[in-house]
Structures are given as structure tokens and as C-alpha cells.
Amino acid sequence: DTGVSQDPRHKITKRGQNVTFRCDPISEHNRLYWYRQTLGQGPEFLTYFQNEAQLEKSRLLSDRFSAERPKGSFSTLEIQRTEQGDSAMYLCASSWVKGSSSYEQYFGPGTRLTVT
């Protein structure tokens, strides 16, 4: 399977703990995106990378959130001092972008985070 993969699929943590999620994009894709989705809502943009460079961060991404894509391949999203409001599905997507055109983003299965 050469789709986008995410690990873990589910994470339950206690408030105040740190969590880290991993995303492996489709191998030839140069762009990688993180979104967050809560029940009954559409996904909300968090951040995205072009290769290893983080190009944009949403204002939703507080200083407790950090994302990296160190070698331009997989990416990690870390949440420090988790709060109950962080409970959501964290979706990763990837795409191949050339120039200024938009292309289809392929989504991974998501990591469901529950903060107790």
C-alpha cells in the first residue's frame, strides 16, 4: 500500500501529557499537510510543509503544538501539555505541487486523540 499512513491510529492520554504523531506521505509527494477535525465539522488546517520547509502555520496552532519534517519525508506533530480541547482526529495529507497550481491532497486514515 503506497498511500498516506499515520501512526498511531488511536491515542488516549491524560491531560498534561505530551503526545507525538507520525505521518508518512506518498513517497514522491513534496507537500505535506496537517489538519484537525472534530465531530460534525470539516477538517481545519494546521500547518504544511514543502519538502522540509514549514511554509505556513494556522493561528489555531498554539505554542503547545510543533510540527517537523526533518528530511522532507515523514513528519511528526507534537502536542505538549495536552488539554481536553485537543481531543480530535488529526489528519495528515500529501500532494505533489508544481508552480502555483493546486493539486489533489491525499489523506491518511488519521490519528484519533482522546484527552481524559
Partner 1 sequence: GQNIDQPTEMTATEGAIVQINCTYQTSGFNGLFWYQQHAGEAPTFLSYNVLDGLEEKGRFSSFLSRSKGYSYLLLKELQMKDSASYLCAVTYNTDKLIFGTGTRLQVFP
Q: Which CB atom, from 3 or from 16, has the smaller least distance to partner 1?
A: 3
Q: Which CB atom, from 18 or from 55, has the smaller least distance to partner 1?
A: 55
**∠ at Cα 113 (5, 17), nearest 5°?**
115
Contacts of partner 1 in 52-111 (CB under 8 A): 55-56, 91, 95, 97, 102-110
Of the residues 24, 25, 33, 82, which one makes contact with partner 1 according to CB under 8 A: 33
Taking contact as CB under 8 A, which single stretch among the options 12-20, 48-56, 64-72, 73-81 is the one that binds partner 1? Answer: 48-56
Pairs from 36-42 (Cβ < 8 Å, separation ≥ 24): 36/60, 36/88, 36/89, 36/90, 36/91, 37/88, 37/89, 37/90, 37/91, 37/110, 38/87, 38/88, 38/89
8 A C-beta contact, residue 33 and residue 108: no
The verdict on 42 binding partner 1 (CB under 8 A) reads yes
Which residues contact partner 1 (rule: CB under 8 A)?
Answer: 31, 33, 35, 40-45, 48, 55-56, 91, 95, 97, 102-110
